Structure 1
Amino acid sequence: MNEKQAQILKLKQDKDAVIMAHYYVADDIQEIADYVGDSYYLSEMATKVSEKTIVLCGVSFMGESAKLLNPDKKVLLPDASADCPMAHMATVEKIKEIRKKYKDDVAVVCYVNSTAELKANSDVCVTSSNALKVVKALPNKVIYFIPDQHLGTYISKQVPEKKFIFNDGGCPVHTMLTKADILSALEAHPGAKVLVHPECKEEVTDLADYVGSTSGIIEYATNSDAAEFIIVTELGVMYELKRRNPEKSFYAAGQHQICDDMKKVTLDKIISVLEQDDEGLIMSADFMDKANAPLKRMLELSR
């Protein structure tokens, strides 16, 4: 443990704070976080912690979700500019247009990687680990899936009885990975298992041995008898993969599997936000009630 990590652990105790980190942030942060996980896990754990302050090491929508689920807690973001481009790739206007056309037949299903405003105008939120379960549980015949068309497409193939309407959006890190990248990686590592996040394009998921959330990829690799894996998601996940499986080998699928926004979060910024100890994320009570409803419904339907 280095000096900055030790300083964070002391500050955390002094401020009655808990450190939550996504798998995509830097290794030195994952190493000292109280909870490390994917979006679903962090959303779930945010409702269970007793500390008065949550330091959310990830991008802005994750901090918003933690605040919506815990209106009485202080939620601090080490870097408020750390954002998710995909979170803004849908519009309230389009949601209203779809609702007007399909009325009660449609459910607006909002991937948790979205702004609080989009959540507030949706029926239910989902993550990559629970989307299939939640969509199947909905009574509606039509699903408007926002903002990620690729996760929506992947889920739609498993629920053919429902009509899906897709939004033109996607994660820049995952969508830049191509079929050619996977084939090239397999040529370099023949026999390796291909583990793919469902935010990737269909041409990529079609080549996978396993498609699933970040936590699902980690579990699959850990439980598999295979010794080599090609990882088709953001490379921050390598820390946990190697920690759990030091005897196995993991390879990147392409050249650019890094989310620059996730990497904005640093030890120095965590120290700074804990020392400043300002009021954190603020939203109006009415807005929070509206935006929290689809998150709470997600947790209920995925249990």
Structure 2
Amino acid sequence: MTATATDSTSRQAWAEEVRRLAEERDAVILAHNYQRPEIQDVAHHTGDSLALSRLAAQVEARTIVFCGVHFMAETAKILAPEKTVLLPDPNAGCSLADTITAEDVRAWKAEHPGAVVVAYVNTTAAVKAETDICCTSSNAADVIRSIPEDREILFLPDQFLGAHVKRVTGRENIHVWMGECHVHAGIDGHTLRERVDSEPDAEVYVHPECGCATSALYLVGSGAVPQERVKVLSTGGMLDAAERTDAAKVLIATETGMLHQLRNANGTTQFEAVNDRAECHYMKMIDPEKLLNSLRNGTTEITVDADVSERARRSVERMVSIGSPSRGGE
């Protein structure tokens, strides 16, 4: 049996070995919604990065194997500092998190003294440590509304989520960092309009990180598409909506790994990607072989500087206390 074998017998043997090693190591396997299907299926828990990090802090297991990207494993370590957190591939990064550094945040704050810094959870621990409060895509608007209206806000790092929050809150004193996830940015308005036109009866779920989020709301506002057909949702919101919908087809504007969870949640609706090339190569870096290696050899342990961790934890805990990140904060 090899970890990369594709036949069902080998896949089952691999999964049994993964679970055996996890029990032996007193480890819990957490997998993000964008991971490979076989990684999602073998994990003890699958979800968005914040929900999984909160689980990491609650589970009794001494070791967390986080199948996601680096900032997610960091967040788990911040919320569960006493646990060992492993990331099966240390090179699994994030193009969005890479668009801003702690130095950038300090310089931006110096230009806007007194402003409140709000950071999307998709950021490094060092950036979170420079932040007043974090947010997810599902509670970003609630976080913004919790801030006095006369206070300037610096929102980072995602420009599309920032623009969405400005629209739904009506706040004008929000400065938005011009970062983006290269995968979500590639799901553009032109592609969305083409798919919506070709599928006149389909519902559309759009992640607010996507480059097409503005176009989606324009289509609704202009009357080109009925409002009930288009929903701007976090990943967890998509899962909730998928469980309730009776639509024959739903078009999904987010990373394609999400389709696996949606299809598992509702076997009668057809779920299709708005852009079937919207695949994050960082998320797909963790494969069966790397997961086995992590469990066998303890690779790769994630650590966070104690001072950075303490400051970052405050901004994350403030986020958790406002609104509801639900099971899908991203």
Q: Which amino acid letter does the alignment assign opposite residue 202 of structure 2?
A: A
Cα displacement (A) at 1:239: 0.9
**CA 254–278 in structure 1, closer or farther in 2 if over 3 Å, else same:** closer
Equivalence for 1:43: 53
Pairing 1:28-177 to 2, within 5 Å after superposition: 28-104=38-114, 106-139=115-148, 141-161=151-171, 163-177=173-187
Equivalence for 1:215: 236
Cα displacement (A) at 1:278: 5.3
Please give the secondary structure, in 2, of the residue aligned with 1:231: strand
Alpha carbons 1:196, 1:204 under 8 Å: kept = no
Cα displacement (A) at 1:186: 2.2
Equivalence for 1:23: 33
**CA 51–162 in structure 1, closer or farther in 2 if over 3 Å, else same:** farther
Q: Which amino acid letter does the alignment assign opposite residue 230 of structure 1?
A: L
State the distance in 2 between where 1:151 and 1:194 align.
18
Alpha carbons 2:29, 2:66 under 8 Å: kept = yes
Equivalence for 2:216: 205
Cα displacement (A) at 1:86: 0.7
State the distance in 2 between where 1:174 and 1:276 align.
34
Percent pairwise identity = 35
Q: Which amino acid letter does the alignment assign opposite residue 137 of structure 1?
A: S
Cα displacement (A) at 1:238: 0.9
Aligned length: 302
Pairing 1:147-296 to 2, within 5 Å after superposition: 147-161=157-171, 163-201=173-211, 202-206=213-217, 207=219, 209-277=230-298, 280-296=301-317
Please give the secondary structure, in 2, of the residue aligned with 1:272: helix
**CA 258–213 in structure 1, closer or farther in 2 if over 3 Å, else same:** same
Please give the secondary structure, in 1, of the residue aligned with 2:43: coil
State the distance in 2 between where 1:94 and 1:287 align.
16
Cα displacement (A) at 1:292: 1.6
Cα displacement (A) at 1:276: 0.6
Q: TM-score, normalised by structure 2?
A: 0.87
Deviations 1:105-144 (A, max 9, x none): x111111111111111111111112211222122362211
State the distance in 2 between where 1:214 and 1:164 align.
24
**CA 102–15 in structure 1, closer or farther in 2 if over 3 Å, else same:** same
Cα displacement (A) at 1:162: 5.0
Cα displacement (A) at 1:160: 1.6
Alpha carbons 1:112, 1:125 under 8 Å: kept = yes
Return 5+ residue gaps in structure 1 as ranges: none
Alpha carbons 1:177, 1:204 under 8 Å: kept = no
- Greater shift, 192-201 or 153-162, is seen at 153-162
Q: Which amino acid letter does the alignment assign opposite residue 15 of structure 1?
A: R
